[in-house]
Structure 1
Amino acid sequence: MVTFLPTRPGRLAEVPSFVRGIGGAESNVACGLAASGHSAKWVSRVGADGFGEHLVAAIASYGVDTSAVQRDAHRPTGIYFRTAGERATGSRGEDAGEDAAAGRAEVVYYRAGSAASAMSPPTMPYKDLWSGRILHLSGITAALSADCLALLRELTTRTAGRPLVSFDVNYRVNLWSDAEGPRVLLGLARGADIVFVGEDEAEAAWGMRG
Structure 2
Amino acid sequence: MVLFNPDSTGPLRYVHNFSKSIAGAESNVAIALARLGHDVGWFSKLGNDEFGSYIKSIIRGEGVDVSRVVVDSENNTGLLFKERFAHVDPNVYYYRKNSAASNMTIEDLDLDYIRSAKILHVTGITLALSENTRQAVYKAVEFAKANNILVSFDPNIRLKLWSIDKARPTILDIIQMTDIVFPGKEEGKLLLGTDNPKQISEAFLNMGCKTVATKLGKEGCYITTKHQSEEVRGYTVEKPEDTVGAGDGFAAGFLSGILKGLSLRECGQLANAVGAMATLVRGDMEGFPTLDQVKKFMGIEEHIER
Q: CA separation in 2, counterparts of 1:189 and 1:121?
A: 20
Distance 2:11 2:116 in 1: 43
* Structure 1 residues 149-205: Cα deviation after superposition (integer angstroms, max 9, x where no partner): 111222333742152111111000010157211221111122111111111222234
The match for 1:168 among 154, 175, 180 is 154
TM-score (normalised: structure 1):
0.85
Q: In structure 2, the residue corresponding to 1:174 is in which secondary structure?
A: coil
Cα deviation, 1:11-52, whole Å, max 9, x if unaligned, reads 233322221101101101111111111111111110010000
Equivalent positions of 1:4-15 (< 5 A) are: 4-15=4-15
Q: Is the 8 A contact 1:152 1:188 kept in 2?
A: no
Partner of 1:188: helix, strand, or coil?
Answer: helix
- Tell me: CA distance 1:63–1:176, structure 2 relative to 1, closer, same or farther (3 Å): same
Q: 1:201 corresponds to which residue?
A: 187
Contact between 2:46 and 2:101, CA under 8 Å: does it hold in 1? yes
Pair 10,66 (structure 1): closer, same or farther in 2 beyond 3 Å: same
User: For residues 60-99 of structure 1, what are the structure 2 equivalents within 5 Å?
Assistant: 60-84=60-84
Q: 1:17 to 1:206 in 2, by over 3 A?
A: farther
Q: How large is the Cα RMSD of the aligned pairs?
A: 2.0
Summarize the Cα distance change of 1:129–1:77 in structure 2 as closer, same or farther, 3 Å threshold. Answer: farther
Counterpart residue identity of residue 184, structure 1: T
Structure 1 or 2: more helix by fraction: 2
Pick the aligned partner of 1:138 from 123, 132, 145.
123
The one-letter code matched in structure 2 to 1:15 is V
Q: Higher RCO, 1 or 2 (CA under 8 Å, sep at least 6)? A: 1
Distance in 2 (alpha carbons) for counterparts of 1:40 and 1:11: 37
- 3-state SS of 2:132 partner: helix
CA 8–204 in structure 1, closer or farther in 2 if over 3 Å, else same: farther
Counterpart pick for 1:125 among 110, 116, 129: 110
What 5-or-longer segments of structure 2 have no aligned partner? 197-306
Amino acid at match of 2:123: S
Greater shift in the superposed pair: 175-184 or 110-119: 175-184
Q: In the alignment, is the contact (CA less than 8 A) between 2:145 and 2:151 conserved in 1? A: no
Assess if the C-alpha contact under 8 Å between 1:43 and 1:129 holds in 2.
no
* Structure 1 contact 43–128 (Cα < 8 Å) conserved: no
Larger radius of gyration: 2
Shift in CA distance, 159/34, structure 1 to aligned 2, threshold 3 Å: closer
Q: How many residues align?
A: 195
Question: Equivalents in 1 of 2:35, 2:114: separation in Å?
Answer: 21
Give unmatched runs, 5+ long, in structure 1.
87-101
Distance verdict in 2 for CA 1:5–1:12, change over 3 Å: same
Deviation digits for residues 112-139 of structure 1, max 9, x if unmatched?
Answer: 1111111122222212333311111011
The answer to whether 1:180 aligns with 2:171 is: no
Deviation at 1:85, TM superposition (A): 5.4
User: Is the deviation greater in 61-70 or in 181-190?
Assistant: 181-190
Give the corresponding residue for 1:51: 51
Separation in 2 of the partners of 1:82 and 1:182? Answer: 26
- Name the SS for the 2:30 alignment partner: helix
SS at match of 1:175: coil
Residue aligning to 2:260: none
SS at match of 1:71: strand
In the TM superposition, residue 111 of structure 1 has moved relative to its aligned partner by 1.4
Q: CA separation in 1, counterparts of 2:16 and 2:191?
A: 34
Report the CA distance shift for 1:75/1:56 in structure 2 as closer, same or farther (over 3 A). Answer: same
After TM superposition, the score normalised by the length of structure 2 is 0.60
Change (3 A) 1:23 1:161: same
Determine if the alignment matches structure 1 residue 192 to structure 2 residue 170. Answer: no
In 2, the alpha carbon distance for the partners of 1:111 and 1:130 equals: 30
